[in-house]
Amino acid sequence: ILNVEQSPQSLHVQEGDSTNFTCSFPSSNFYALHWYRWETAKSPEALFVMTLNGDEKKKGRISATLNTKEGYSYLYIKGSQPEDSATYLCASPTSGTYKYIFGTGTRLKVLA
Amino acid sequence: NAGVTQTPKFQVLKTGQSMTLQCAQDMNHEYMSWYRQDPGMGLRLIHYSVGAGITDQGEVPNGYNVSRSTTEDFPLRLLSAAPSQTSVYFCASSYSGSLSSYEQYFGPGTRLTVT
CB contact under 8 Å between A99 and B43, yes or no, is: no
Tally the residues of chain B: 115
Mean pLDDT computed over every residue of chain B: 94
- Among the residue ranges B10-19, B44-53, B97-106, the one predicted with the least confidence is B97-106
- pLDDT tens over chain A, length 112 residues: 568 999 999 999 999 999 999 999 988 878 889 999 999 989 999 999 998 889 999 999 999 999 999 999 999 999 999 999 999 999 998 766 788 899 999 999 999 9
Distance CA A65, CA A53 (A): 9
Distance CA A91, CA B37 (A): 14
Could you tell me which residues of chain B have a Cβ less than 8 Å from any Cβ in chain A?
Answer: 31, 33, 35, 40-45, 48, 50, 56, 58-59, 90, 97, 99-109
pLDDT (0 to 100) of residue A1: 52
By DSSP bridging, strand B110-114 and strand B10-13 are parallel
Distance CA B105, CA B29 (A): 10
CA angle A23, A25, A27 (to 5 degrees): 130
